[in-house]
Chain A
Amino acid sequence: MINLKDFRKISDYEWEIPVTFRKDMRVPVRLFATRRLLEASLDDLSIEQAVNAATLPGLVGHVVVMPDMHQGYGFPIGGVAATALPDGVISPGAIGYDINCGVRLMGSQVPLEAVEDSLADLATALDHFCPSGVGSHGGYPVTDAELDQVCRLGAAWGLKRGLATEQDLRRTEEGGVLDGADPGKVSARAKARGRPQLGTLGAGNHFIEVDVVDQIFDSAAAQAMGLQEGMLTLQIHCGSRGFGHQICSDYVSQFQEAARRYDIHLPDRELVCAPLSSPEGKDYLAAMRAAANYAFLNRQILAHGARQAFESVLAGKVKNWHLHQIYDIAHNMGKVETHQIDGQPRKVCVHRKGATRAFGPGAPGLPAEYQATGQPVLVPGSMGTASWVLVGTQTSMERSFGSTCHGAGRVLSRSQAKKEVRGDELRKLLEKRGIRVRAGSLPGLAEEAPQAYKDVDEVVQTVSGAGIARKVARLRPVAVIKG
């Protein structure tokens, strides 16, 4: 059992569990939270899971935990861990089954007040052009040979097919394609699941949401992104579908033996890992990158569908109905990056699970328009509540391996949420507040009820107070599409 007294307070927003807390820890755990959020997190196993994560071989710095943390399965959701190349480990479970689950934000010049009467039609059109639901088909199915290209090219695969623009790619993490992906390291079953599901949203907590820019906090950064108060924006939250789930499942099973072979002892089998330099580690990294590229393209195809939906409903009603890319960012990913460790630049594999990359101004790889502001960070709230646009900072580079929070973070179990909230009542309540809802499953809707989550504003206040992100704009939802 972990208590408040086990933490050393660094600031009002940062706490540490020292490496001496448990003898198998290799590095300390650093938690970004207010005292209230910290105390709330002691109710579930998230902190214990962070301490378990701190036992991974080859860790450097500290394991970071974000204020939206909650209990996961092995590695906590909201966790960041960096292992040193070449011999530190890579852990598939510390990245998650939904490889490159992430968020895309698109902006527009469509004023909410001009289209309020069309929002219901817009929600219906988005539901039509962007297939959703469990195991959803009907998106953009591909052949085996095409899938191999998708694994290598990511979102860029959509360029010649009219699904993507150069600007879309430039404003995507890594340009929408990770180098080093190898479809040869992906199982036939993962491919069989991936082929028909490309271009689909899926179910669970994945969604498409139309928002209006409610308030701007940083006008220079908002201007660079093309965000204006009163204008519509669109968010897409999803990942690599059954393709990524199968790849992670395959490697977590294979790594059970690999961990034994490399004599790695862990407090939880879900944390199984292999050295980055080992054949097993290299194979997983190449397969994970294939799934990441699939996910970048998946969100790209859904963005294309959203553009078609906007055109079908708004053409003729407003002058400009175009949706422009603001940014697309992963929050479940393993990335090889260079960070300052003990004052020296060092190549590390940063595992982010339910944490967003948040590179500061001047970071390599950012497009010219975001060099001065820092990388856009997209933090969706729970359904019916605000979402936030932030930017990465120099402090996030120094304190959290260039990472920040990814959302509100659950507090209620799914079964508890279903007991407390009925899907049909929730839909009525949201509609009453002016939010149009299209949902495939009403019980599924209830599980994602706002009261099942922490207050996203408090989470964002924490990362902003700690300096590991800066506020740019707050978005308010007007239409939600869920599988």
Chain B
Amino acid sequence: MGESGFEERRHTADWALRVWAPDLNGILEHAARGMYSLMTIERDVSPRAVREVEISAPDREGVLVNFLSELLFLLDQEGLVFDTFDLEASPTHVSARLEAVPALSIGKEIKAVTYHKLAVVESPQGLEVTLVFDV
């Protein structure tokens, strides 16, 4: 297990994802990568696109949910899947410069990112969180 990453966890109806990283920037990036991985997205290599995103929320769980929801929106609307993350996160805000490639196909749909039992907690690696997605 590296210093940051993600793994799928058991859940009867939906999908759960555990994410760990040294800091909130890492949690946001690896949660995004984990979410795409669950969706089994086939990617093109070009054209590359850049999007700048600003997200605010009352706490870091809110920042995480709103950030991932923004990525779902951009995938749904523009077919973009991000692979390069330049993030500056605080517990109430994230400024992100993101690079994407087009998604060629999406294997499975995630309807939403939920707040179910959501808590970003301190861990030996830094931070960790378990996310539940509605599918």
Bound together, the chains give a CA A221 to CA B77 distance in angstroms of: 45
B14 near A73 (CB under 8 angstroms)?
Answer: yes
A-B interface contact total, Cβ < 8 Å = 113
B134 near A96 (CB under 8 angstroms)?
Answer: yes
How many of chain A's residues touch chain B, expressed as a range?
35 or more
B13 near A246 (CB under 8 angstroms)?
Answer: no
Bound together, the chains give a CA A69 to CA B114 distance in angstroms of: 19
Chain A residue nearest to B70 in the complex (CB): A189
B77 near A193 (CB under 8 angstroms)?
Answer: yes
A97-B111, A268-B116, A270-B115 are contacts. A256–B58 as well, Cβ < 8 Å?
yes
A93-B114, A248-B112 are contacts. A77–B13 as well, Cβ < 8 Å?
yes
A269 near B115 (CB under 8 angstroms)?
Answer: yes
Inside 8 A of A242's CB, which chain B residues have their CB? 76
B109 near A134 (CB under 8 angstroms)?
Answer: yes
Bound together, the chains give a CA A283 to CA B118 distance in angstroms of: 25
A74 near B115 (CB under 8 angstroms)?
Answer: yes
Query: Considering only CB atoms and an 8 Å cut-off, how many residues of chain B contact the other chain?
Result: 35
Chain A residue nearest to B131 in the complex (CB): A73
* Interface bits B73-91 vs A (CB < 8 Å: 1, else 0): 1011100000000000000
Chain A residue nearest to B11 in the complex (CB): A413
A96-B134, A415-B8, A415-B10 are contacts. A74–B114 as well, Cβ < 8 Å?
yes
Bound together, the chains give a CA A189 to CA B74 distance in angstroms of: 10
A252 near B10 (CB under 8 angstroms)?
Answer: no
* Interface bits B12-41 vs A (CB < 8 Å: 1, else 0): 111100000000000000000000000110
B111 near A71 (CB under 8 angstroms)?
Answer: no
Is A275's beta carbon under 8 Å from chain B? no
Inside 8 A of B13's CB, which chain A residues have their CB? 70-72, 77, 410, 413-414
B108 near A97 (CB under 8 angstroms)?
Answer: no
Is A120's beta carbon under 8 Å from chain B? no
Is A141's beta carbon under 8 Å from chain B? no
B115 near A252 (CB under 8 angstroms)?
Answer: yes
Q: How distant is B93 from chain A, measured CB to nearest CB, in Å?
A: 14
A256-B62, A410-B12, A413-B12 are contacts. A203–B108 as well, Cβ < 8 Å?
yes
Contact of B73 among A134, A246, A413, A444 (CB under 8 A): A246
A73-B114, A256-B58, A270-B114 are contacts. A249–B69 as well, Cβ < 8 Å?
yes
Q: How distant is A448 from chain B, measured CB to nearest CB, in Å?
A: 11
Chain A residue nearest to B65 in the complex (CB): A253
Q: How distant is A45 from chain B, measured CB to nearest CB, in Å?
A: 8
Inside 8 A of B106's CB, which chain A residues have their CB? 134-135
Inside 8 A of A71's CB, which chain B residues have their CB? 11-13
Contact of A73 among B40, B69, B109, B134 (CB under 8 A): B134
Is B113's beta carbon under 8 Å from chain A? yes
Is B135's beta carbon under 8 Å from chain A? yes
Bound together, the chains give a CA A256 to CA B115 distance in angstroms of: 9
B107 near A134 (CB under 8 angstroms)?
Answer: yes
Inside 8 A of B118's CB, which chain A residues have their CB? 269-270
B11 near A245 (CB under 8 angstroms)?
Answer: no
16 A-B pairs whose Cβ atoms sit less than 8 Å apart in the complex: A70-B12, A72-B13, A73-B114, A73-B132, A97-B134, A134-B107, A135-B75, A202-B109, A245-B112, A249-B113, A252-B114, A253-B69, A413-B10, A413-B12, A414-B11, A444-B108
Nearest first, the 9 closest Cβ-Cβ pairs linking A and B are A73-B116, A269-B115, A97-B112, A73-B114, A134-B106, A270-B116, A134-B109, A203-B109, A270-B115
Given contacts A73-B116, A135-B75, A415-B10, 11 further A-B contacts (CB under 8 A): A74-B115, A97-B112, A134-B107, A134-B109, A135-B106, A202-B109, A249-B69, A260-B58, A269-B118, A413-B12, A443-B107
Give the A-binding residues of B (Cβ under 8 A).
8, 10-15, 39-40, 57-58, 61-62, 65-66, 69, 73, 75-77, 106-109, 111-118, 132, 134-135
